[in-house]
Structure 1
């Protein structure tokens, strides 16, 4: 079972690869349904693909926007430019995009979750059209996924297992488009579903009434975040070919932690299923340390409470402080001598430590490390960091 992680930027791609992803998915500047992600120029994408391939990993390129007539020629040019870089697959939602790619290259084609594939007949139809993988709609249960995999065993099946969920059917929402003119299906969602909503009575203009009696307001469309880690062994037994982490616009820290934890979980399931059950509470505890909304297993177990009404705010228990690269700690958020921190490594484990000494640029001892500083750190107990290790601090 492949672990597929998000790569919104070149840095996130490298982090995902180093923290255990088998493959990453990345978008170019257009046609990738994530305008707020950094996305890749052709030059950056070449560097990313070359880097991943040098580590024995794969890169899938998302071109899953729904095309308009005036974009078709530009889309063809984009496909041609990306195909020369030898990616391992294209992810598309538009059936016309599938046709264009199939006519121009032999690179495998994956059907995006935006295509809303929910049944055996549709999977077979896409197989006949030349697709090699289906990213199933998120509205399916474990039972339905198993039925599809059994009926079309020669089609690769991919399932989302972690990250933000849209309150609309497979992300087909027009709320943002209507309220802000930012089209979710063109990659620029304003997340209008996360706003506070009140009721106005027709003849009492200006008087706002909460939909529920709650002084915070009511977040009636606010979806919980998906966390299918407890069901990962069941997806493995079904024969799901790839499990996918959402988050091309999420932080480097998010990519690192979620990738490492799902990597560890998959390895345990493959090699020692009983250990997976034993370690599951610790693995879930680590996922609680990244920014998230309340977790749910979503439609996989047909949970009924998929919305979270009290607030749309994220749960943030830890702050990402620095990442170790090229023999220095690259500071992401300020920290001080004496701070109690955790070092999180690529094997998904963390070690508690205290910062004893900070040296800037290899020469000047300082008390506080500020954002974008390059520093050496001496820890108590003594720790020897490895490339891409992370330090974080609990928010008190």
Structure 2
């Protein structure tokens, strides 16, 4: 059986490298144009080339999103961009629009195409059509259940990719017009400029009573009627693999480095355990505990097993919980035992006991006993953003380990 791929988001070069170091088999990312995350950081042309080279040096893959729903003016320069992606040996592009698909086949015939979830592929005939046109993979609509995926896979011999974790969009396959409406067309979600209007607070106003607002729920503060919970399939890896998923995708190109690393580490453990243990496989509580330590809304399995009812929505508040703070990143190179180079990401101080997460997914505690800044001066705390220090503790940690602590409420 071909092992299911673990596919991670990469909004920046640092996130890409951390995703791969923490166990992702592939990453998806965007250039500065033609993608659906205009504010996710994204990659310049040279950075795209560097990203591909870095991933390939590790035997891993890079997929580039070209999944906008374009207007005429958006097509300008697209042919040269696709040729460039082919020339730097990108492993695939994600496309949702039939015209962009056609152009890619014409100008970059050796560039593999994955069909984006924006194409709303929800039945086997649609998937077969994309295969017949030359697609190598279809990312199924998020509304497709595990059973429906299995039925599609039985009828069409093609790689199927599914979302397994992350924020959900209330609109069908992400095709939303709310951003257009609230910004008078200045920010269009289908062209990469979503304002996440589904997370806003709403109330009802009756037409003949302007200025009088009624909450949708029994709450004087209103309600977030479009606000979805976050998807989490960590408890259902066997169903996804046995249902025919070739790739499990984590959402989150705009999430933090810490988020990407921690989520990837948890799913890496779960997927590897399934293939190693077979019938003896069991879900470990520590996987779910790890996912509870990242920024998230309450979790749901959404459409995976049924059409979700109101329990898949989050009515109480818009912002996700942030249970832990990412305070430091262990850098390569260390001296004597118990000494590490660390880059500050949030304030910490001598005497603190911090939790760590390694790229191998190990979790533990380390006590900071001494800090020395780059000038060789001993200091009692690290308050400066991205400051690099020598940290002495009760153990030596692997490079790129994450230091974190429980956030104060």
Normalized against structure 1, the TM-score is what? 0.96
How many angstroms apart in 1 are the aligned matches of 2:141 and 2:64? 19
- The equivalences for 1:275-314 within 5 A come to 276-279=281-284, 281-302=285-306, 303-304=308-309, 305-314=311-320
How many angstroms apart in 2 are the aligned matches of 1:151 and 1:23? 26
Paired position in structure 1 for 2:233? 228
* RMSD (Å), alpha carbons: 1.4
Q: Does 1:2 align with 2:9?
A: no
Give the CA deviation at 1:273. 4.0
Paired position in structure 1 for 2:265? 260
Q: Secondary structure at the match of 1:312?
A: coil
Q: Secondary structure at the match of 1:298?
A: coil
Gaps of 5+ in 2: 334-340
Give the CA deviation at 1:336. 1.5
What's the CA shift string for 1:64-121, capped at 9, x where partnerless?
1112222323111111122111110111001111111111221210000000000000
Give the CA deviation at 1:204. 4.0
For residue 363 of structure 2, the aligned residue among 350, 363, 387 is: 350
- Decide whether the 8 Å contact of 1:362 with 1:375 is kept in 2: no
Paired position in structure 2 for 1:218? 223
- Decide whether the 8 Å contact of 1:216 with 1:310 is kept in 2: no
Paired position in structure 1 for 2:171? 168
How many angstroms apart in 2 are the aligned matches of 1:136 and 1:363? 54
Give the CA deviation at 1:375. 1.3
Paired position in structure 2 for 1:178? 181
For residue 381 of structure 2, the aligned residue among 360, 368, 371 is: 368
Paired position in structure 2 for 1:112? 116
Paired position in structure 2 for 1:390? 402
How many angstroms apart in 1 are the aligned matches of 2:279 and 2:326? 32
Give the CA deviation at 1:339. 2.0
- Decide whether the 8 Å contact of 1:224 with 1:308 is kept in 2: yes
How many angstroms apart in 1 are the aligned matches of 2:268 and 2:123? 29
Paired position in structure 2 for 1:194? 199
Distance 1:362-1:376 versus aligned 2 partners, 3 A rule: farther
Give the CA deviation at 1:373. 0.6
Give the length in aligned residue pairs.
392
Q: Secondary structure at the match of 1:319?
A: strand
Give the CA deviation at 1:354. 2.3
Paired position in structure 2 for 1:72? 75
How many angstroms apart in 1 are the aligned matches of 2:245 and 2:359? 24
- Decide whether the 8 Å contact of 2:229 with 2:297 is kept in 1: yes
Q: Does 1:378 align with 2:392?
A: yes
Q: Secondary structure at the match of 1:291?
A: coil
Q: Which moved more, 1:11-20 or 1:339-348?
A: 339-348
How many angstroms apart in 1 are the aligned matches of 2:63 and 2:112? 9
Give the CA deviation at 1:205. 3.5
- Decide whether the 8 Å contact of 1:362 with 1:376 is kept in 2: no
Q: Does 1:317 align with 2:323?
A: yes
Q: Secondary structure at the match of 1:299?
A: coil
Paired position in structure 1 for 2:50? 47
Give the CA deviation at 1:323. 1.1
Gaps of 5+ in 1: none
What's the CA shift string for 1:44-78, capped at 9, x where partnerless?
11111100000110001110111222232311111
What's the CA shift string for 1:236-264, capped at 9, x where partnerless?
11231111001111110011011111111
How many angstroms apart in 2 are the aligned matches of 1:19 and 1:240? 21
- Decide whether the 8 Å contact of 2:10 with 2:253 is kept in 1: yes
How many angstroms apart in 2 are the aligned matches of 1:61 and 1:353? 38
Give the CA deviation at 1:278. 4.4
Q: Which moved more, 1:332-341 or 1:291-300?
A: 332-341
How many angstroms apart in 1 are the aligned matches of 2:366 and 2:73? 57
Q: Which moved more, 1:77-86 or 1:88-97?
A: 77-86
